[in-house]
Structure formats: structure tokens, C-alpha cells
Amino acid sequence: MMNNLLSAIVILVLVGTFVLTPSPQPTLTTLSRAPAEAVAVAPVTDDTAAKAAIEASGYREVTGLIKAADGTWRAKAYIGTAEVQLVVDTRGRVQPD
């Protein structure tokens, strides 16, 4: 009887330890990426595609979109409360200017 009780307590402690062990939480870097690290959305051929690439990279309120002589697009946009200057290359990659 005592052995059964002791065995039951040991099993409950082991199961409780396994069940109550916190699972690893994802870090901030696994949840999101900085907009500057955005991957190409699609080839950029016009202002609509350039704006879409910028917005897909996490920016908002895109203004002043102008095509440069080298085929890149330049614009201003917001990330959080900060206004930033951006460059979008012909592959759709968005980088701070």
C-alpha cells in the first residue's frame, strides 16, 4: 500500500514537472523583421508596384514617389511614428535611403 502511494506521488511529480515546464517563447526577431530586411515582393515596373512593395515591407503613408534615372523608386513613408526616406530597386527590395 505504501509503495503504491509513493509510486503515485513520484509519477504525479514527474508528470506535473513535464506539464508545467514553460515552453520556449519566440523572440522578437522570430516574430518580425526590420523593414530594411524586406524581401522582394515582385519586380517593380511602375509607381503602383513600388508603393505596394513599400507597404508590404511594413511602411505606411507613402508619399513623394519618384522614379530615379537608375530605375529605382524613391519615396517617403512612415514606420511607427518615424518618417523615413526609402529606395525601392527594380526587384522590389525596399531599403532606407
Which pairs from 68-77 meet CB under 8 Å and 24+ separation? 73/44, 73/47, 75/50, 75/51
* 57-92 confidence digits (pLDDT tens): 999 999 999 999 999 999 999 999 999 999 999 999
Give the model's pLDDT for residue 52: 93
Q: Domains of the chain: which residue ranges?
A: 36-96
Query: CA-CA distance, 33 to 73, in Å (whole number)?
Result: 22
Threshold 0.85, pTM exceeds: no
